[in-house]
A and B are shown apart, each in its own frame.
Chain A
Amino acid sequence: MKDKMRLNAAGRLVPVEVNGEPAVPYQGVENYRKTGCKYAPPIPSCADYPADGNKQVSSLEEALVKAGLNDGMTISTHHHLRDGDFLANQVFDIAHKLGIKGLRWFPSASFPCNAHLIPYLEDGTIDSIEGSMNGPLGEFTSRGRMKKTAVLRSHGGRVQAIQDGEVKIDIAVIAAPAADQFGNANGLSGPSATGVLGYAEMDVQYAGKVIIVTDNLVPFPCLPMQIAGNFADYVVVVDQLGDAGKIVSGTTQITRSPDRLIIADLTARFCEVTGIIYDGCVIQAGAGGISLAIAEYMKQIMIRNHWKIRVGFGGTTKYMVDMLEQGVMEYILDGQVFDTASVRSLNENRNHQSFSVFNAYNYHSKGNLTSLIDVVTLGATEIDVHFNGNVVTHSDGMLLHGIGGWQNCLFAKNTIIALPLFRNRIPAIVDEVTTLCGPGELIDVVVTERGIAINPRRKDLLEKVKDSGLPVRHIEELREEAVSICGTPDKPEFTDKIVAVVKWVDGTVLDVVRQVLC
């Protein structure tokens, strides 16, 4: 691979070929234009499907066999079931039983529960994963134990890769909390309700075969049709899609960590002082500890000023639902549901609607909703003094997180990274990020418990915080403070082996992750 490396526009050495396929080095935030047509799956015909519309087969194994499960195929699944997912693991249990080899798993994200798949990565049932990788799978990959190179994409980048034909899905297995025998499906009810199914919408349109799996078969019609049954090849009924308690939580809680609350308070005050939030603003809110607290502090600012949030994008939790129901927020556009209160609201409230990853995040489309958002607050494992961000590796080089929607959200009008200055002696503000996931030109502000750093590109914000009393500091000062407290960490050591590539939202290669030296 060494002779096929190029320095990309971010100054990172990246391969021009990944897993035998050509790859384009990153060319700058918005410089690369892909030409050509979108990918299209084969044309089906109604004649080949049951006249009575009943596509139910007896088992997941039967469906997979009928779908032609074979060596080297690409199997997609979705992370709506989060850490409670039984289904993705079952698919590969079956593949393993059938002696299938060399599969590529293409999930929208993985969770610790998917550590179940490690033996299949070891025995060759699966030889690569392309998707956001968390915890044990990331560690497995970092140690150089996965056969092929992992490809890390954002949620939007995943949709782009499907649409552009960079990843051709052979079989999409869709966990449907409610479905009828024709394959119409949604996430709104049943024991495994996930609220939305936005991550699966692209897959059903582009996959060769689509299997709808449900633990809640309802008589036709299953409404609303978040997934239209016209895309479905087979419908399977199982006892349980997942562990309900781990799919959505009964309660989401705001952090009580005083340090995180300081970060959240500073972030909200910064947004008010700079006019980033105002009457009629559009904000994004996540379910992370700091995000919830930021949303709650912003709510207080809204109420104090008699303002309303026009739209809240989520990652929905009961805190957003409360705002909607108390009239502080007019609409929720929902990409992911985190608790039971949000599932209820999505069912009851016309002003609470789901959106798809295509609407919000796909860079190869005619605009993204994220660019309409006034402010997003995100986390990161590291931010460097040039405001570049890392979300996939820790400072010791270990791959432990997925990109999620992080890269896509950077296109909001104002992007704030909220993170502690250091975690357990490890500085989060560094000289240079271990892995580049987001170019600094898209990151406007970094908020830590020990001060706020504004990207020098944002002269407007720097001007607005003058005399605000907020602890605005140069990012170099924050880095120096972290080092003065923690010491200067040694650099991790890597082998030459590339274990993963990080794609930018346009499908180009932004950076690589190398095997850690143990």
Chain B
Amino acid sequence: MEAESGNRGPSVRSDCYVKIRSGISGGIQIELKSKTGKLFGRHVRELVTDMFSFFDVSHAEVYVEDSGALPYVIAARVEAALSRLTALPKPYLLQGKTCPQSSTARDRTRRSRLYLPGDNPKLMINAGLYGADGVILDLEDSVAPSGKHDARFLVRNALLYNNFMGAELMVRINQLPAGLDDLPYIVPGPLNMILIPKCESAGDVKAVDEIIQSLKGDPGRNIWLMPIIESARGVIHAYEIASASPNVVALTLGLEDYTADIGAERTTDGVESFYARSAVVNAARAAGVQPIDSVFSGFDDLELLGSVALKARAMGYEGMGCIHPLQVPVVNKSFNPSSGEIEKAMKIVAAFDEAEKSGIGVIAIGSKMIDAPIVKRARRTIDLAMHHKLLNADWRDHYEG
């Protein structure tokens, strides 16, 4: 019996291809082809040997074609190939390798989330450097059907061993019901959020949530949900989807599928999706979760992306998906409060606090009355500005009105 995993070819980098032929005698025979063989050949052989011993497989011919893969990638490829030949009772863990867990919270800033194809290690390695608030290891549309099984192992290992530098760790599972089978691979790992694609009903959310609860172990650990609305039916059910579970923290939409579903072409100004975008914002706000916009697919035109993102923000969205690292700073900037907004917020908060101190109930700036929701929004703007280092934490000490 023979099984393979991974990728090879002249343009493949940071990945490896593994082929295993099971045997009944001869021990573990490793054939290694590697550009970095002189420097890391011994390491690769030792890792492969250790894995076969861990999985209690004594006889096999193993062919490894390495194009500079990191250890967790090699381990994922070997395990994926081996899992095609025999049931593996537990995952193989690399020794002495852990990465700091990401911080998460229900209302964490989610301006940008960077999609990373789940079967491509090269794009994962430095993904933490680009400044995205979240990274999405994708098991769905960016993974070819032949790579789906491999991607589960690679994504699991990336969550465990790749340092994403504090980005919120998200995984987009496959469309249900197949996506439910992705969960056992990833939920035990250090992830923060699951994206549910093509979500059409509260039932979809509940199905995912139930399995997560049964898999996650620590009852105090939160795994958030972000359903993706990608159909006319999903838009109709947006509110019940957003409020289907207390773990839903954000609602987003996928406009490529949505526009196809309603029989329209996707345009830059988005006239065809205006209703859906409004409906999603409204449903999200009604359910008390963050509305997050779709991705902008023209990754060559960063200027246009900036204006699209600003429009999304004007509609009430708090963030957007990114399909290329270069989109991240543009999106972050677009969803940051502007300097004018920060200034106005400072003025409101300072005036409000002053009024409170002197016991005045109602305040006005100029001729405009300042009431509670305005102050609340101003405080949120200030918090955001401080979080993104646009405003010093001690701004009060220097504020002169």
Contact = CB atoms under 8 A, between A and B. Distances in A.
Interface of A: 256, 258-259, 261-262, 395-397, 423-426, 449-450, 469, 485-487, 489-490, 492-493, 516
A489 B43 CA distance: 8
Contacts, number: 59
Contact of A492 (B39, B129, B130): B39
Given A424-B13, A426-B68, A485-B70, A256 B326 contact: yes
B40 interface: yes
Given A424-B13, A449-B126, A450-B129, A492 B38 contact: yes
B36 to A, nearest CB: 6
A504 to B, nearest CB: 28
B71 interface: yes
A262 B129 contact: yes
Contact of B36 (A256, A424, A450, A516): A424
Contacts of A396: 36, 38-39
A408 B42 CA distance: 38
A486 B71 CA distance: 8
B130 A258 contact: yes
A490 B35 CA distance: 14
B14 A425 contact: yes
A424 B129 contact: no
Pairs A-B, 7 closest by C-beta atoms: A424-B68, A489-B39, A258-B325, A425-B68, A396-B38, A492-B38, A259-B126
Contacts of A490: 38-43
A367 to B, nearest CB: 41
B67 interface: yes
A8 to B, nearest CB: 26
Given A424-B14, A425-B69, A258 B38 contact: no
A264 B264 CA distance: 41
Given A396-B39, A450-B129, A487 B71 contact: yes
A492 B125 CA distance: 25
Nearest to B47: A487
Contacts of A492: 38-39
B39 A426 contact: yes
Contact of A487 (B14, B43, B325): B43
A396 B34 CA distance: 12
11 contacts: A258-B126, A258-B324, A259-B126, A425-B36, A425-B39, A425-B69, A450-B129, A485-B70, A489-B39, A490-B42, A516-B38
Nearest to A258: B325
Contacts of B40: 425, 486-487, 489-490
Interface in B36-81: 36, 38-43, 67-71
B128 to A, nearest CB: 10
Contacts of B41: 490
B126 A397 contact: no
Given A261-B326, A396-B36, A489-B40, 10 more contacts: A258-B129, A258-B326, A396-B38, A424-B67, A425-B14, A426-B39, A449-B129, A485-B163, A489-B39, A490-B41
Contacts of A469: 389
Interface in B359-374: none
A426 B36 contact: yes
A348 to B, nearest CB: 31
B261 to A, nearest CB: 32
Contacts of B67: 424
A259 B71 contact: no
A261 B14 CA distance: 19
B164 to A, nearest CB: 13
A495 to B, nearest CB: 14
Contacts of A489: 36, 39-40
Contacts of A516: 38
Nearest to B326: A258
A487 B71 CA distance: 8
A437 B38 CA distance: 22
Contacts of A424: 13-14, 35-36, 67-68
A423 B38 CA distance: 15
Contacts of A485: 70, 125, 163
A468 B30 CA distance: 50
